[in-house]
Amino acid sequence: MRVTPAMEAGDKSSHNTDGPSFNLPYWLRLTRNGDFFTGEVSADEKNWRRVDSIAVPMSKTLHVGLALSAHNNSALNSSLFDNVTVTPVPTPVANAR
CA 32, distance to chain mean position in Å, is 9
Segment 1-13 shows an average pLDDT of: 54
10-58: pLDDT as tens digits? 555 555 666 566 667 788 888 888 888 888 888 888 999 898 888 888 8
Confidence of residue 82 (pLDDT cuts 50, 70, 90): confident
* Segment 55-64 mean pLDDT: 81
More confident residue, 85 or 6: 85
HEC assignment per residue over the chain: CEECCCCCCCCCCCEECCCCCCCCCCEEEEEEECCEEEEEEECCCCCCEEEEEEECCCCCCCCCCCCCCCCCCCCCCCCCCCCCCCCCCCCCCCCCC
The residue type of 71 is H
How would residue 5 be classed by pLDDT, with cut points 50, 70 and 90? low
Contact 52, 30 (CB under 8 A): no
Contact 14, 34 (CB under 8 A): no
> What's the confidence (pLDDT) of residue 48?
92
**Distance set, CA 38 to CA 31, 72, 93 (Å):** 5, 27, 25
Give residue limits of the domains in the chain. Answer: 2-55
Neighbours of 39 (CB within 10 A): 20
